[in-house]
Structure 1
């Protein structure tokens, strides 16, 4: 295709001028272009010059990898490589690894032909030994070690090896020291030995001794600056000012919908929605309508709002602003927080942090158009709230006749710094003068010193190892000991056990007739229940456990099978009467008398046998 293309001679040189084009070109083209150049269809010199110029211009590795393949496919001759030797040397310091490997091959090729000068060698050695890739540094060390005596440049080689002594890679330092000791006897300049001894001061003790044995005594390293006793003080970043206008709010919300949200920006955006909507809700709606797309992200399913995604918070507040009759679900969220489950949605075992976040999310959305400010919005980059600012927010709420949300107040108290009373002593007296319960709670919290530092206890816990041997059930048999820490005020985590009310600790109902104990088989165990599930045993007074052959569960009071909800009780196929429960250790029946539900039925006109009478022969 390229051979017969009339535009190939014009467009092919332009390939080297467009940035980012190498990642889009086919991997088969370098071999085809090199084959056409070998046939004389294309001139080799513009292709080689184009590759080198593209390397010198720089770029990402994925964009330059195609040109490296083209350069290798062209296979420059020694004369063509020597003509671009200076360019190859300049590619060694900072070019991508693939380009640097190609340039090193061409430099070593010129050195093997005896065309590499002393200046080019020193520049190439210094550039390679400062590279971050260990592969290139090893290749450079091998090249210097093999050519030091052969080319008569031991002094230049040792001067270059000293650049590896401060390296953090121990294997590279050991190779550099071994190479320097190997060529120590062939040093011709005393300044080279002095430079090696001076550079060896940063080496470990064993490597310093090896250098001292070959070059002379090495001075001990100077003591560094004193190590500080602890970590430097934490300096949080400065938060941006609050959102001040509906136009700025709309711009911030549009930016949040296009990028990944973070909690500091989300807190600022939610606070801006609540505060500006209280001032002028119509202006905020008009500003947001200009940036909301047709299929806005706030028109999402309510089930998608229960997540840890920070972007959901601003979305739900904006959705509340446009909904004339919003449903916040505060009662349901409070029930989830208290009981760990929702009777309307059926959630079970919801983590405490998730429950609290759901509650606060719904409180924030409910505060839109009703409260002038939120209490828990941070004022510092560390997440803390200034005590004076918190009291000022409480004063604004009381002036507007609004009550703060309980979750919002709890979050605000937790975000107060540990030394809040010392930072602002006037905040305690201001909060105490507030008549509301929230003001008294803040005053008491500040007076008590806030949240105390937790007392952490560490213990060793044995866990099964994923890579150890497994038993018959496919479980690991070799434990792994690890340390887990939890506050002493909190009880250690244990497996849920059944309570006397025939419910497990996580709120689920008990099933089966298992005894009280830890979790087994991934399901909570429970006490012996009076009911039995279908096809299980019912306990009858005085006769022990008696199997019931029907599918309907047995009732503990009347010892009769109870019909499932919405279905009629089972009746016998011949007599039309309902089956009688057994009273002996084995169920009595006739040969062919069965109910539609599978229970055995008495024969017509027969009386119910007593518990002392012998049971009839069961049907086969």
Structure 2
């Protein structure tokens, strides 16, 4: 195939900055040039980007330089929001500025800076117009600009027409970058994919880059759909068969990508390519070290393919024993039972044919002695026992030492096999290991300067970090009260393109976070909208998570109206502790400052402060007296809150799984009801957004049917009412246990560190968290259980009772619970985990039909009992253990029963805590 594009390893060095016209038309300009500049500027102000290239053509270098000065001034006006009407005009002006600047800038560096600016590029078609505007630039200049733009991913993805045009014009290949390759794959994918790839001279380089990307482009990674002619893997295989793509290079790139690992979704493209190319035996042998690494570390789907490849090589006698030993050690360290059992079978088959390899292979097999699955341990021990006569004394000693990793149920058999005592010697008291009790940290003071404040705002992630959000909000209010003009100016400079201003202005529901306060400070909000949002009560679709978010929403809109005025010198509700709680003495002092300044507290700000104030300990009692002595309504409300006269609370109940008269309720998600305790003072004194906390009938939250956003901000709303907060989290947690939702356990860390009693709602929240579909959610729930245990606040038996009910109803799957319990136990909390499971098992075992997956839970329970030495009787366990068959359920029931009988005479349990 003839290639018209020169292939270079890199672009030529940037051309020297011109001292004269910069490659533009010469001349000095004049009246005609001045008229042309005015015509160009008029088109840009009107947003007529399509007309710009034609208006640039007659302008000489001097005229373009003059136009550039005025274009920069116009760009500054658009960035400052001075050309905001009609609503669509700013975007049209930005498009025209994008094209005009490209044609006026003399150097590639300056043009790249202009064309790569975030505030200019709006549409992909603007790139084609910009290419027309650059019509008189030379090849090296075009190549220099293409290289600079390709290095910026966001720019390259949205500027393919411009970049490709520059590449064609220059005659050089642009260095492949993720952004450019992603844009290229989008552009080239259609029903003629094979033909277009074959015709494109960039294909070999860009395909190699696409296959190697950490996150492959969207089009090549798509599954085979209704249009097979657009399926990239088959198209690439065709090009390999034709010789357009080098087969060895494609295989190397794909195998290397599989070896680097990552989420399976990012590996499917490379895996499918390897499968379609069907490597022969020689090609597979050349990459044995890669396949071993993939089998050991890749996601299960990919590791399984690598294991099949290596198994085939072993069957053909083409896999060295050393490579098999390395593969075995890596695969047996994995947790997937299918892979582990297949590997043990492979080693057994090889040893049956080649007994002399036992000395090298059996030490690798002992990796399975530490498996969490006792069945795997048993298989590995039997394999070692069959081939033990083939090893020398040194290897035998190493195998005996590794047998100490076996579960107690297999140590006797291992002792008989190796002729050694593998026990633990004299029994010692078991030590329960729990994590350190987290200590609440004082929240850092707000920013001391406007510059520091703006840096916090620009850094972002405020919605995900409640402490940072509260500091930034309080700092914004304080500085705006001192010098509103200075803060407004600093905000405008920091946010040159305030698209959020338009969003806030046009919003009818939701809020863009702290930006609503910035918009209010800048005078960009409709007063009628602010008044409506600030005083809006609960809507007809209110759910618990919207109710929590609505509290923050009300605070923000209130601050947006009052920021920069004497009515809001600082915020009362800013936490003093990292948990979101406020020290009662600090709140009293804040109210005193308000009283002395003659300022009436803002309703939402005061309401949130009252919900956050800590009510435990002797300081709360003293603060109550000081608050009452202030002699203000706010002081009296604080005193009543501290004395427990104004309480908020909730109870949790579940409707039966049958018809309730109107709707069939099947899953727990449909049957969860949170009853809020009615309290007239809350309904009378709190703003509309808070009245649901008082049990107002019209404000009773309903079940949530959608995903909740802003979960990080939920817990700080109720840091002093742990049970109520837990009740509010339950609907979202049910979605994560019964459905496929994720992330609802994010507030659990704050929940267990909050104040207030631990009742049924907290236990249910943790129980649901342990049964979530997502492993990260389960891990956060495990952390919550262990922290509560370390604080001495965990009612382990109550948690077990709730788990029994949830497992029996099908809301919590036993396999997920087993994974969570195993993780918790592995930290050293075996006795705590056993106490939970001991309370759970009798009800679950009493089920008429065996609960699917319960064997995994029994395995964890047996491991806990074997390690902590607990004894006792579990109702229903003996009958199950005496049943026929060799299923995991029966085997693990027998194991647990035996461990409980042996644990009766064990030393007592002691508890230790890890130092922070």
Q: TM-score band (shorter)?
A: 0.5 to 0.7
Question: In 2, distance between residues paired with 1:157 and 1:441?
Answer: 75
Q: Deviations over 1:269-298 (max 9, x none)?
A: 332332222112222222333326256156
Cα drift, residue 322 of structure 1: 1.4
Q: Secondary structure at the match of 1:300?
A: helix
Partner of 1:389: 586
Q: Tell me which of the two structures has the higher relative contact order, counting C-alpha pairs closer than 8 angstroms and 6 or more residues apart.
A: 2
Match status 1:136 vs 2:332: no
Once the two structures are superposed, the pairs formed by residues 291-306 of structure 1 within 5 Å of their partners are 291=495, 293=498, 296-297=501-502, 299-301=504-506, 303-304=508-509
Given that 2:454 and 2:491 are in contact with CA atoms closer than 8 Å, whether structure 1 keeps it comes out as yes
Q: 2:213 aligns with which of 19, 25, 30?
A: 19
Q: Is the 8 A contact 1:198 1:218 kept in 2?
A: no
- Write 1 or 2 for the structure with the bigger share of helix: 2
Which of 314, 327, 339 is residue 111 of structure 1 equivalent to? Answer: 314
Match of 2:501, SS state, is coil
Match of 1:279 among 461, 479, 482: 482
Q: Assess, with a 3 A threshold, how the Cα gap between structure 1 residues 12 and 163 changes in structure 2: closer, same or farther.
A: same
Over the aligned positions, Cα root-mean-square deviation in angstroms equals 5.0
Counting only pairs closer than 5 Å after superposition, residues 603-618 of structure 1 correspond to structure 2 as: none
Residue equivalent to 2:516: 315
Q: Is the 8 A contact 1:274 1:372 kept in 2?
A: yes
Answer yes or no: is the 8 Å Cα contact 1:3–1:41 preserved in 2: no
Deviation of the 1:381 alpha carbon: 0.9
1: CA distance, partners of 2:392 / 2:350: 18
Q: TM-score, normalised by structure 1?
A: 0.60
Q: Following TM superposition, by how much is the alpha carbon of 1:126 offset from its aligned partner in structure 2, in angstroms?
A: 1.0
Which residue does 1:158 correspond to in 2? 362
Indicate if the aligned counterparts of 2:641 and 2:647 stay in contact, CA closer than 8 A. no
CA contact (8 A) 2:576 2:582 kept: yes
Which whole-Å CA distance do the structure 1 matches of 2:366 and 2:577 have between them? 48
- Equivalent positions of 1:472-483 (< 5 A) are 475=664
1:131–1:297 distance in 2 versus 1, CA, 3 Å: farther
Alignment CA distance shift 1:159-1:84 (3 Å): same
How many angstroms apart in 1 are the aligned matches of 2:349 and 2:580? 60
Secondary structure of the corresponding residue to residue 432 of structure 2:
coil
Q: CA deviation at 1:188?
A: 3.1
**Paired residues, number:** 472
Which of 455, 463, 466 is the equivalent residue of 2:656? 463
- Closer, same or farther: CA 396–96 of 1 in aligned 2, 3 Å: same
What are the superposed Cα offsets for residues 80-123 of structure 1, whole Å, 9 maximum, x if unpaired?
A: 33333334334443344455344333433332232433322221
Q: Which residue of 2 aligns with 1:415?
A: 612
Distance 1:126 1:74, change over 3 A: same
Report whether the alignment pairs 1:438 with 2:634. Answer: yes
Contact 2:450 2:490 in 1 (8 A): yes
Distance 1:81 1:95 in 2: 17
Do the aligned residues in 1 keep the contact of 2:477 with 2:569 (CA within 8 Å)?
A: yes
| 1:68 and 2:264 are equivalent in the alignment | no
Distance 2:628 2:411 in 1: 69
Cα distance in 2 for residues equivalent to 1:407 and 1:40: 70
Q: Is the 8 A contact 1:330 1:359 kept in 2?
A: no
Contact 2:440 2:579 in 1 (8 A): yes
Distance 1:202 1:6, change over 3 A: closer
1:80 and 2:277 matched: no
Shift of residue 49, structure 1, vs aligned partner: 3.9
What's the CA shift for 1:482? Answer: 9.4
Contact 1:420–1:449 under 8 Å retained in 2: no
1:273 touches 1:318 (CA, 8 Å); kept in 2?
A: no
Q: After TM superposition, give the deviation of residue 265 of structure 1 in Å.
A: 3.9
Report the counterpart of residue 380 of structure 2 in structure 1: 176
Q: 1:145 to 1:299 in 2, by over 3 A?
A: same
Unmatched segments (≥5 aa) in structure 2: 1-194, 225-230, 681-695, 700-916
Contact persistence 1:328–1:366 (CA under 8 A): no
- Per the alignment, residue 614 of structure 1 pairs with none
Q: What's the counterpart of residue 142 of structure 2?
A: none
Between the aligned partners of 1:382 and 1:218, the Cα distance in structure 2 is: 51
- Between the aligned partners of 2:308 and 2:526, the Cα distance in structure 1 is 74
Aligned with 1:226 (options 431, 443, 456): 431
SS of the equivalent of 2:431 reads coil
Matches within 5 A, 1:544-583: none
Matched ranges for 1:491-510 at <5 A: 506=697
> Which whole-Å CA distance do the structure 1 matches of 2:526 and 2:205 have between them?
64
Mapped contact 1:320–1:365 kept (Cα < 8 A)? yes
1:618 corresponding residue in structure 2: none
1:402 CA displacement: 0.7
Higher mean C-alpha deviation, range 171-180 or range 364-373: 171-180
Distance across 1 between alignment mates of 2:449 and 2:290: 57
* Preserved contact between residue 385 and residue 412 of structure 1 (Cα < 8 Å): yes
Q: CA deviation at 1:378?
A: 0.5
> Following the alignment from structure 1 to structure 2, what is the Cα–Cα distance between the partners of residues 479 and 66?
39
Cα deviation per residue 1:496-550 (whole Å; 9 max; x = unaligned)? xxxxxxxxx9579xxxxxxxxxxxxxxxxxxxxxxxxxxxxxxxxxxxxxxxxxx
Q: Distance in 2 between matches of 1:93 and 1:478?
A: 40
Give the C-alpha shift of residue 377 in structure 1: 0.8
Distance 1:324 1:477 in 2: 46
8 Å Cα contact 1:299-1:319 kept in structure 2:
no
Query: 2:524 & 2:679 partners in 1: Cα distance?
Result: 42
* Structure 1 unaligned residues grouped into runs of 5+: 342-346, 492-504, 509-620
Q: 2:573 maps to which residue?
A: 376
- Tell me the TM-score normalised to structure 2 length: 0.43
Higher gyration radius (CA): 1
Mapped contact 1:91–1:103 kept (Cα < 8 A)? yes
Distance (Å, rounded) in 1 between the aligned partners of 2:673 and 2:596: 48
Q: Residue by residue, what CA displacement relative to the aligned partner does 1:443-482 show, whole Å, maximum 9, x if unpaired?
A: 6766x5899998x988x755125xxxx7998847999999
- Residue 383 of structure 1 deviates from its aligned partner by 0.7
Higher mean C-alpha displacement, 78-87 vs 379-388: 78-87
Match of 1:607 in 2: none
> What is the CA-CA distance between 1:164 and the residue it aligns to?
1.7
Question: 1:226-375 residue pairs with structure 2 within 5 A?
Answer: 226-227=431-432, 232-236=436-440, 239-253=443-457, 260=463, 263-290=466-493, 291=495, 293=498, 296-297=501-502, 299-301=504-506, 303-304=508-509, 311-312=512-513, 315-316=516-517, 318-319=519-520, 322=523, 326=527, 336=537, 360=555, 363-368=558-563, 369=565, 370-375=567-572
How far, CA to CA, are the matches of 2:519 and 2:395 in structure 1? 73
